Structures are given as structure tokens and as C-alpha cells.
Amino acid sequence: MSGFAIFRGIVARDVRLAWSQGGTGSMALSFFLIAVSLFPFGVGADPQILAKISSGIIWVVALLACLLSLDRLFQADYEDGSLDDFALSPLGLTGVVYAKILAHWLATIVPLILIAPLLGVMMKLPSEAYGMLMLSLLVGTPALSLLGAIGAALTVSIRRGGVLMSLLVLPLYIPTLIFGVGVVDAVILSGNPHQLLAVLGAVSLVAFAIAPFASAAAIRLALE
């Protein structure tokens, strides 16, 4: 099999697994819905307060939903030995990591982006911000999958490493969060989010360039 066929095969397999029974795709989506709906109970249903914090809450909860689903990104394949096989494939371990990250983003994150406008309605997001909310998620969330893969790879051999992984990954998420929310707020306040959107894209691109290599190094370490 050529490298590209393997790449496609892994992406298709992981997307299918994420949406099969017991997969993380639907769970992350349900978590996203439930966790966002908690906030009106917590801070009160005052539309003005909700409108002010809606973009931040949607971004933070999307980030947490991503974190929850990352726990098993490499672990299942590590436990049943598939990762050893993948490491020897012509695609190389770094290529496999790219494939698994892409699959994670497609299966888990894209549904969150698609449902985000609905949560925007519930959270009284100002109407001019819907497009930019989705665009900011589209541009920024690849960084979440990419950086999260580093944490998932570093903790792959640790049983119940989920909490530790959060500790490692959350600080890495902060720039994405700052600029992601910044883009939405800029549209509401000044109508000009383009500069921040470019920075958000830059964060994703830097993560794209670095994260798979760091993740592959960490997995190689665990496989030794």
C-alpha cells in the first residue's frame, strides 16, 4: 500500500470508530451541549450578561470537549499494539500522527463547529457574530487537536492519564482561546476581526508544523 492509501485508510477508520457505538464523537458533542447549558443556571439567565460571555463560554467548552475526547486518541491503538504496526508502515509514525489528528478533528471537532450557532442562539450571542464564531472555530480548533495530540502522546503509556493530560495540554491551549474569543469579540465591538483572525491562523499553522513531530517523538518513546 502506498503512504497516501494508508493515510486515507487511517483517517476513514478513526472517523468510523469515533461515531460507532461507544465512540467519542457523540459523547463530545453531548458534553458540549450540556456543559454550555449549565452556564445560564450558574450565572443567571440575564440576556445581557449571557450575550457578553457567550463567545467565551462556547470557546472554553469546545476546548474542554476536545480535551475529553483526546484521552483515547492514541491509547486504544497503543494498548492493542496497532501503534507498533503503524510505526513500521511506509507512512512513518509522523504521517500516522497527522492522519489520526485529522481524523480527530473531522470526527469530533467539526460537529461542534456545526452545532455552535445553535448554542449561540441559546446563549444570546449578538446576531452579527454568528459567522465569525464559526469561522474562528474553523480556523482555531485545528490547533486544539494538534496541541492536544502532544499531551495524548506523552501520557499514552500512563493508565488513567486523563487528568495529567489536561494539566499538560490546557496551558498550551491558552493562546488559541485568547485569539479565538478575541476574533468574535472584535466583530461585536469594532467590526474588524481580520488581524486577530490572522494571528489565530498563525497559531494553528505553528501547531501544524510542530505538534505532530513532538507527538511522534513521545509515542516512539512509549513504544521502546
Residue ranges that bind another protein, judged by CB under 8 A: 150, 154-155, 157-158, 161, 164, 167-168, 170-172, 174-175, 206, 210, 214, 217-218, 221-222, 224
Q: How far is the CB of 196 from another protein (least distance, A)?
A: 12
| 110, 163, 213 from 113: Cα distances, Å | 5, 25, 26
* Least distance from another protein to the Cβ atom of residue 132, Å: 21
Virtual CA dihedral for 147, 151, 156, 162, nearest 10 degrees? -120
Nearer to another protein, 187 or 203 (CB): 203
Residue 132, by phi and psi: left (phi above 0), alpha (psi -120 to 50) or beta?
A: alpha
Q: Tell the smallest beta-carbon distance from residue 99 to another protein (Å).
A: 20
- Residue 66 or residue 218: which is nearer to another protein going by CB? 218
Place of cell 510542530: 210
For residue 186, the minimal CB distance to another protein (Å) is: 15
What CA–CA distance (Å, rounded) separates 222 from 224? 6
**Distance in Å, CB of 30 to another protein, minimum:** 28
CA distance 4 to 19: 23
Output DSSP code: residue 221: H
Nearer residue to another protein within complex by CB, 111 or 175: 175
Is the CB of 22 or the CB of 163 nearer to another protein? 163
Residue 61 CA, distance from chain mean position: 11
Is the CB of residue 133 less than 8 Å from the CB of residue 120? yes
Q: Which is nearer to another protein, 45 or 221 (CB)?
A: 221
